[in-house]
Structure 1
Amino acid sequence: MKFHKLKQWIKSLLPSSYQLKVSITTIVTRTLYIFIVFATYYVVYKQIPRSLTYHLELTFILVAAISIVIYLPLIERMAKSLRVRFLSEYLTEDAESFRQAIKQFNYDALVKHVFPDMVKITESQLGTMAVLSPKGTFSFHTYFRGRQKKLSPTKDIEVKQNFQEFLRSKKSGASVTEAIHSPEINGDFLELHANYIYPFLFREKLFGFLAVSNIPNADAAHTLSLLAGQSALTIHNHILSYHIAENKKYRKEAEYAERVQNLLETGTIPELPGWMIKAYPRSHGNLVEFFQVEDGSWFFVVLNAGRSYQHIGILLSYILGVVYAQSQLRILKGFSDIKTLIQSTFQKLEWKDRYELIIGKIGYSELYLIQEGKQLRITRENDNEEVVASIGWKNMIQMEKGPILILQGKEPILKFSFQETVVQ
């Protein structure tokens, strides 16, 4: 234990890699400045005639003017350039460079540059950064032993709710000693191989965090707080931009889906003796298809996917297209084949939501119907409250009592009327 404390004390006396680079940069630029000033003094002194009164004073004034007006700005520019190159814009002490870096602070810069810099200022060998994704999970990046840009993104992980609440309560960061009495939180520290975690908070919401293997000093913690706040805002803007872009994309997809749906849906109503069939303006949640089976009988399918999104029409059109294609090949023979084909097609598409359907056969003066689901209804036109078909059973409906309506809620989809034809 004493040896460990001695080791830590010696380490605290030695400069960190960041401090060492700062010191070397300062020494190099100031040494160069002094050398240039003395070289200039020597050149000017040689050029001024000795016969002039106060030639030493004149040399001194000229060199001082050149050094202040020309050399000093150039050396400062050189020092800033060296710090930006070897220390990073986000860690330099130059205020102008830092402001410029903050302006360019985007999501890519956070992952590639800012994250390694935040690990550096804590003087840690290992760092892990969690970033909230638009899906609500966290993507993780690691940084190990000063290898900048050697980042290893892993799969998205759900961070436990109690750990998120703990971090939200630690706005100024938390060390592992604060989690000793909470076994679950302490376990999260151990899993991250972290001695210190700093959260990225914006408007009381956790957008990510930095986990490092060393507890930073006060100066490093102050710089870390500035970068963490900017990181949270950057992640927030990235998620917002993603959702805006997705919204625009889906809006476009919906427009294309409606066009494709109009092209795919045949919906050709057959002309049959005595029958008058009317199709009402359809909604985007349902489609209708008529087709003949092997024995020449006319069937129809009303299919509802249980959603109202416009691009659902592509899915329904595909399924009814499969049914129509099978009917043209004379593969389908009746109710059982049609129902089995629709069910298997939904399974192949891995459709998780409920769907409803009505399969109908048009007879001479009657309809044969099978219904699945409660959103679709089959009623008489003269009394919309009279339901004339039982769910799950094959129903035969006589047409002499009046027209039949197929509705979704209160919106009509199809109307079937029959009038006996008189042979002259």
Structure 2
Amino acid sequence: MNLLRFKLLLKNFLPSSYQLKVSLTTILIRTTYIGIVFTTYYFVLKHIPRNMAYHLELALVLVAATSIVVFLPLMERFAKKLRTQFLSEYLTEDAESFRQAIKQFNYDALVKHVFPDMVKITASHSGTMALLSPNGTFEFHTYFRGRQKKLSPTKEISVKLNFQDFLKSKKNGASVTDAIYLPEINNDFMELHANYIYPFLFREKLFGFLAVSNIPNPEAVHTLSLLAGQSALTIHNNILSFHISENKKYRKEAEYAERVQNLLETGTIPELPGWMIKAYPRSHGNLVEFFQVEDGSWFFVVLNAGRTYQHIGIILSYILGVVYTQSQLRVLKGFTDIKTLIQTTFQKLDWKDRYELIIGKMGYSELYVIQEGLQFHITRESHNEEVVASIGWKNMISMEKGPILILHAGKPILKFTFQDGAFG
């Protein structure tokens, strides 16, 4: 324990690699500036006639004015470029550069640039960064001696809830010494190969954390606090943008599904002697198709897949499209062929949910129907909605007693009326 304290005390006195770079950069800039000023002074002094009164004072005034007006702004530009190149635009002390960097502080910049800088500022040779993803899990990125990579999904490290609560309670970072008496938390430090972890907190929620191999000094911790706050906000905005774009995408998909459904569904009502057929506004869960079979008879199918979201229209339209195509090829002969084709198509689609259907045939003055599903009802309109068809059987319905309604969940889908000689 005493050895550990001695090492920590020694590290506080010795500069980190980042601090050493800052010092060397500052020395280089100031030495260059002083050298340029003195070189200019001797150049000006050499070209001023010595017999001129106050030639030393004149040279001093000219060099001072040139140094302030010309050389100082140029050296500031040089210093900014040097610090950005060898240190980081996110860690520079230049206020203008820092503001510009913050404007560009997005999710990609956090991963590619800020993360390595945060590892370097702690004087660590390795680091791991966890970022909260839109699905609620954490994605991990590693940095080791100048090399950076994202961990593969098979190596994803789970962040346990008790570890998240621990990090939330350590807003100013936590070292491995804080977890000595917490075995589970200590194991998390060991799993991350970390001696120090700084959380990314925003609105009391953990959006990620930085785990490094070295315990930083107070100056580095202060800088980490600034970057960690900005990192949490960046991750929050990235998740928010993802959900907004996903909602837009789903809305677009729903619109496209509606258009495709309208295109695929034929729904053309035939004009047959004596028959008047009315189609009511359909819902997204029901589709209707009319077609002829091999002997020229007219059939119809009413199909419901047991769900109501818009995408189901594409599946229903596809199934009814298969039925319609087969009817045009004169492959279908009657009820059995149509029912078998629908069942086979659902099986090919690996459909697990229950579906309901009505298969009907229009005769001279009667309907022949097969009904499957409790939500469908076939009633006679003029007889107090008398149910005229039984489930699972082939029903013959005479049209002499009045119009027939096909309903699903109480809502009308089709209405059949027969008047002998109406088209005669």
Taking the aligned partners of 2:62 and 2:345, their CA distance within structure 1 comes to 90
Instruction: Quote the Cα distance in structure 2 between the aligned partners of 1:229 and 1:383.
Output: 73
One-letter code aligned to 2:218: A
Change over 3 Å in CA distance of 1:394–1:177 after alignment to 2: farther
8 Å CA contact 2:128–2:142 kept in 1: the answer is yes
Identity over aligned residues, as a percent?
Answer: 74
What residue is the counterpart of 2:361 in the other structure?
362
Contact 1:275–1:419 under 8 Å retained in 2: yes
Judged with a 3 Å threshold, the aligned counterparts in structure 2 of structure 1 residues 142 and 324 are, in CA distance, closer, same or farther, namely: farther
Gaps of 5+ in 1: none
Equivalent residues in 2 for 1:234-383, closer than 5 Å: 234-272=234-272, 275-293=275-293, 298-332=298-332, 338-339=338-339, 341-346=341-346, 348-349=348-349, 354=353, 356-362=355-361, 364=363, 365-372=366-373, 374-382=374-382
SS of equivalent to 1:214:
coil
Q: How does 1:49-88 map to 2 (within 5 A)?
A: 49-88=49-88
Shift of 1:395: 5.0
CA contact (8 A) 2:168 2:206 kept: yes
Query: d(CA) in 2 for partners of 1:275 and 1:315?
Result: 30
Task: Figure out how many residues of one structure are paired with residues of the other and give that number.
Answer: 418
**Preserved contact between residue 128 and residue 210 of structure 1 (Cα < 8 Å):** yes
Partner of 1:199: 199
Which is further off, 152-161 or 220-229? 152-161
What are the superposed Cα offsets for residues 75-119 of structure 1, whole Å, 9 maximum, x if unpaired?
A: 222111100111111011112111111011122212211122222
The alignment status of 1:396 with 2:395, answered yes or no, reads: yes
Residue identity in the other structure for 1:362: K
- Give the 3 Å change call, closer, same or farther, for CA 160–413 of structure 1 in structure 2: farther
For residue 37 of structure 1, report the CA deviation from its aligned partner: 1.6
Distance 1:179 1:384 in 2: 77
List runs of 5+ in structure 2 lacking aligned partners.
none
Amino acid at match of 1:359: I
1:404-419 to structure 2, matched below 5 A, reads 404-418=404-418
The answer to whether the 8 Å contact 2:275/2:418 transfers is yes
- Which segment is superposed worse, 287-296 or 67-76? 287-296
8 Å Cα contact 1:399/1:418 also seen in 2: no
Superposition pairs of residues 113-192 of structure 1, within 5 angstroms = 113-147=113-147, 150-152=148-150, 154-155=152-153, 159-179=159-179, 184-192=184-192
Bigger mean CA offset, 88-97 vs 309-318: 309-318
Moved more, 165-174 or 233-242: 165-174
C-alpha spacing 1:357/1:292, structure 2 compared with 1 (3 Å): farther
Q: Which string of whole-angstrom CA distances, capped at 9 and with x for unpartnered residues, describes residues 23-55 of structure 1?
A: 111111111112112211211221222223443
Are the structure 2 counterparts of residues 4 and 234 from structure 1 closer, same or farther at C-alpha, using a change threshold of 3 Å?
closer
Per the TM alignment, residue 56 of structure 1 is displaced from its structure 2 partner at its CA by: 3.0
Q: Aligned pair in 2 of structure 1 residues 102, 389: CA closer, same or farther (>3 Å)? A: farther
Residues 168 and 201 of structure 1 are in contact (CA less than 8 Å); yes or no, is this contact kept in structure 2? yes
| Structure 2: distance between partners of 1:367 and 1:301 | 12
Alignment deviations for residues 141-175 of structure 1 (CA, whole Å, 9 cap, x no partner): 2222223xx33253396754444444444433334
SS in 2 for 1:151: strand
The 1:378–1:205 alpha-carbon spacing in structure 2 relative to 1, beyond 3 Å, is: farther
Q: Is the 8 A contact 2:301 2:360 kept in 1?
A: no
C-alpha contact (below 8 Å) 1:139/1:154 kept by paired residues: no
Please report how far the alpha carbon of residue 14 of structure 1 lies from its aligned counterpart in structure 2 after TM superposition.
3.4
Alignment match, 1:26? 26
